[in-house]
Structure 1
Amino acid sequence: MPQTIDTLISARWIVPIEPAGVCLKQHSLAIDKGRIVAILPTAEAPASYLARERVDLGSHVLMPGLINLHSHAAMSLLRGLADDLPLMDWLNHHIWPAESRLVRDEFVYEGTLLALAEMLRGGVTCVNDMYFYPGATARALLTAKMRGMIGLTVLEFPTHYASDAADYLHKGLSTRDEFNGEPLLGFTLAPHAPYTISDQTFGKVVTLSEELELPIHVHLHESQQEIIDSLKDYHVRPLARLKALGLLSPNLIGVHCVHLTTDEIHWLAQHGCHVAHNPTSNMKLASGIAPVSALLEAGVNVGIGTDSAASNNRLDMLAEIRMTALLAKAATLQAQTVPAHQALAMATLHGAKALGLDHLIGSLLPGKAADLCAIRLDDLETAPCFDPISHLVYAAGREHVTDVWVAGRRLLQNRELTTLNAAQLVARARAWRDKVRS
């Protein structure tokens, strides 16, 4: 007798990510209570499962939901505010002053909702975020029913959110206590960057990370100026400073890591650290091209992020996957560097591993959460299709994403959001634009 389940999704192709490079034709995925029960040939599914809901994706690839390993979601409300400027000019003279005037709980909640809607329509099911007012971010994720890791941001200088590093940590940990137990939410410690954090505060972060088993999410070696300033102020490069302070461990997610020496790459590999690669933001801010090929060859786990809409200006993970593969080839002059299947793994399983969630998400295996996205490949722009995995990286765009599930719940159905109102989000974004201008 067939087993009764919640959902059976049949697709032309399923790319499970594990095993690497596999593409299953005419297969179905069985879901019950938010988890994957089985993947099996579609012809065999009716004999095994009786589904309350059946979904037929006859022209689609079904794959794990994309994992955005680095974002400042609420900064969607600052999209395009100060373009074509160097990083520190952009931060010091435009972004930080705007944030000082505007960033409060409501700004973060509404800006994060706008970002989550954009990400969902691009196939993202999990985001690793870093911003002020983490409670507002948590509420936005719960409203959208989306999975997220929430950074407990730490700085030394005062903002409207907190007065000093101790206050940031206290408020962040209080937020973690408030939302502890929410199945779709997790937390990281998020000291902003070596140039905004003291040795003493880094020491506290390391202790808390070890005690609470929380990842550390930090901007690192993003620009040449960051390294010059570190040599001037601390007489060592930032990564060497963090190494001496005990931050290098499997808990560390280094964001950007553009300017690395061979020794520094070796340190990251030796200590099991992770890197969040943000190719478009790195290019737009003229920070440089990260040595992704060398990191991967050394054994460093590299995931992919969008950074913020203020520095990208899109939260488009399919575009970031394509850019990751192309930049690696251009930088090494080797066409085989970061092939399509590896680029997809970086945006799914590698991101999950960095967050300590690879037991739950990042690939399609029985027992894992049903975090999925479906991408249509029968449009003019994707015809003909010889290799679906290649198409996902080099041909498809976020406009081809039709359906998204998180923990078995469909959050995008035929391009329509099911938990968020797109028109309302656009209207609120316009209202915030007027506040920014004033």
Structure 2
Amino acid sequence: MRNQTVVDLRIDADWVIPVEPAGKVFAQHSVIVGEGRIQDILPSHEADVRYLFRERLRLPGHVLMPGLVNLHTHAAMTLLRGFADDLPLMTWLNDHIWPAEGRWMSHGFVMDGSRLACVEMLKGGVTCFNDMYFFPDATIEAALEAKMRVAAGIIVIDFPSAWAADPDGYLLKGMEVRDAYRHQPLVSFCLAPHAPYSCADKTLEKVQTYAAQLDLPIHMHVHETHDEIHKSLETHKVRPLERLHGLGLLGPQFVAVHAVHLTNEEIVLLAEQGCHVAHCPTSNLKLANGVAPKARLLDAGVNVGVGTDGAASNNRLDVFEETRLAALLAKGVSGRADAVPAPAALAMATLNGARALGLDSEIGSLVPGKQADIVAVDLSGAAMQPCYDPISQLVYCAGREQVRHVWVAGEMVVKDGRCLSLDEAHLVRHAHQWRERIAAG
């Protein structure tokens, strides 16, 4: 007993799925947490001997897994959820979303929308999200208030907005935000040029310079629609990815969002350059953009993570649902039932997203030394029975309604399905007020 180590938290569960190594399941194990990090994962009977703890949580019938990583979203657009449904992308953007943003965009809009998104994501097991939107300082403030991780996009676009007037303004203000929050442990940054069709070559060259100098990921919509590709051929005489490659943007820092319409040569190019793909299946289907070739991307060695896109085009910020759909679409399109097996799908929703953001040394798997971003999923209910394989059960059967507890950096932020860090009722009232204003025009 004299050699027992005192730790902050011990969590006992029927299963622990670390994601690393792939496909591994630890039965009747405990996760030991101290100073916000995972200290150990070991059989529960051994934990009795080796550790003393300030807090212990016993979770029979539960599985512990890493926090989900939402690799692409626009958090504040929760306030436009259902605002303009059943429309193709450019009609949706040009005739509805961009005019609404022009009318209502503000720090308060982004703050309220991002808070609402954080509650939804946390309760669904998402502990980190990669965001692209205006007023990134407001998104960061909302995430910090929620006590969850955010990779904040320094958005760059050639169009003026309430946030900035031109590309130089976007970059300058974005760098000011980065300087203000760069030492926050839950905050990281990406450069986020909106899309090839909304950024000129000069703008993208500046983005590449900043990315190289500051070692930041580049997070960008690309090859989302046939129309985008056709217009690039008309304007630049090359497809968007070839143009980006010529400008030096492709590389291990590049996160291609959507990447729906790819030739075999472009898949090889993404793999050779070490790029990542943020796969957003529901948004791609809802906007009738198509289905990304996930199986071919994974077979080529491209790192693929999962994103929800914004609630205006999904309409849920539900990474469990996206993961299941991603796996099923890969099978249906490829004609191979083993195209994306359950362990690979779970990695897409956790470790792969962390790797794309350069955060895989800290999050994305349950490994001693990493941050204690942990989700407890309840598999004890009738709809979850019987459970032969808990990894398969998470991917094909469980959903965000089974999430019971969530920790970020060792701090509990969801308990018994209730968000502890934000007042959900207050946010709902604010959402109702925004709906009335926006609907009234």
Asked if TM exceeds 0.5, the reply is yes
Aligned partner of 1:270 in structure 2 is: 272
From 403, 412, 418, the equivalent of 1:401 is 403
The residue that corresponds to 1:144 in the other structure is 146
> How far apart in 2 are the matches of 1:145 and 1:333?
42
Q: How far 1:316 sits from its partner (Å)?
A: 0.3
**Which residue in the other structure is 1:21 paired with?**
23
| Cα-Cα RMSD | 0.5
Q: 1:174 aligns with which of 173, 176, 188?
A: 176
Instruction: State the AA in 2 paired with 1:347.
Output: A
Q: 2:39 aligns with which of 37, 53, 59?
A: 37
Counterpart in the other structure of 1:77:
79
Match in the other structure for 1:373? 375
**Cα deviations across residues 8-27 of structure 1 (Å, max 9, x unaligned)?**
00000000000100111000
Query: How far is 1:169 from its partner?
Result: 0.5
3-state DSSP of counterpart to 1:131: coil
Task: State the one-letter code of the partner of 2:21.
Answer: P
2:386 is equivalent to residue 384 of structure 1 = yes
Q: Report how far residue 103 of structure 1 moved.
A: 1.0
Alpha carbons 1:371, 1:407 under 8 Å: kept: yes
Write the distance in 1 (CA, Å) between the matches of 2:23 and 2:159. Answer: 47
Unaligned regions of 5+ residues in structure 2, if any? none
Q: Whole-Å Cα distance in 2 between the matches of residues 325 and 281 of structure 1?
A: 15
SS of the residue corresponding to residue 413 of structure 2 reads: strand
> CA offsets per residue over residues 198-242 of structure 1, 9 Å max, x none?
000100000100000110000000000000110011110000000
Percent identity of the aligned residues?
Answer: 56
Helix, strand or coil: the match of 1:74?
helix
Letter in 2 for 1:317: V
Instruction: Identify the residue that residue 10 of structure 1 maps to in structure 2.
Output: 12
Q: Following the alignment from structure 1 to structure 2, what is the Cα–Cα distance between the partners of residues 421 and 160?
A: 28
Taking the TM superposition and a 5 Å limit, the aligned residue runs for 1:278-297 are 278-297=280-299
Q: Matched residue of 2:310: which SS? A: coil
Question: Match of 1:419?
Answer: 421
Equivalent pair of 1:6/1:51 in contact (CA under 8 Å): yes
1:209-248 matches, cutoff 5 A = 209-248=211-250
Aligned pairs for 1:292-303 (under 5 A) are 292-303=294-305
Name the CA distance, whole Å, in 2 between partners of 1:132 and 1:214. 18
Deviations 1:57-83, CA, capped at 9 Å, x for gaps: 111010000000000000000000000
Letter in 1 for 2:277: V
Q: What amino acid does structure 1 have at the position aligned with 2:185?
A: P
CA contact (8 A) 1:2 1:46 kept: no
Q: Give the letter for the 2:415 counterpart.
A: Q
| Displacement of 1:157 | 1.1
Alignment of 1:348 onto 2:332: no
Distance in 2, Cα, partners of 1:336 & 1:248: 30
Letter in 1 for 2:391: I
1:185 is aligned to: 187
3-state secondary structure, aligned to 2:312: coil
Query: CA–CA distance in 1 between the matches of 2:296 and 2:421?
Result: 41
Aligned partners of 2:419 and 2:210: how far apart in 1?
38
What is the aligned partner in structure 2 of residue 339 from structure 1? 341
Per-residue deviation, residues 241-280 of structure 1 (Å, max 9, x unmatched): 0000000110100000000001100110001000000000
How far has the Cα of 1:435 moved from its partner? 1.0
Secondary structure of 1:8 counterpart: strand
C-alpha distance in 1, partners of 2:362/2:159? 37
1:101 maps to amino acid: R
| Residue identity opposite 2:437 in structure 1 | K
Moved more, 302-311 or 381-390: 381-390
2:116 — aligned with what? 114
Q: Which residue of 2 aligns with 1:97?
A: 99
- Give the match for residue 48 of structure 2: 46
Amino acid at match of 1:336: D
> 1 CA distance for matches of 2:378 and 2:434?
34
Tell me, in whole angstroms, the C-alpha distance in 1 between the residues paired with 2:404 and 2:45.
24
Letter of the 1:87 counterpart: L
Runs of 4+ in 1 over 2 A off after TM superposition: none
Q: Separation in 2 of the partners of 1:161 and 1:303?
A: 29
1:110-159 superposed Cα distances (whole Å, 9 cap, x missing partner): 10000000000100000000000011011001101101100010011111
Q: Give the unaligned 5+ runs of structure 1.
A: none
What TM-score do the two structures reach when normalised by structure 1?
A: 1.00
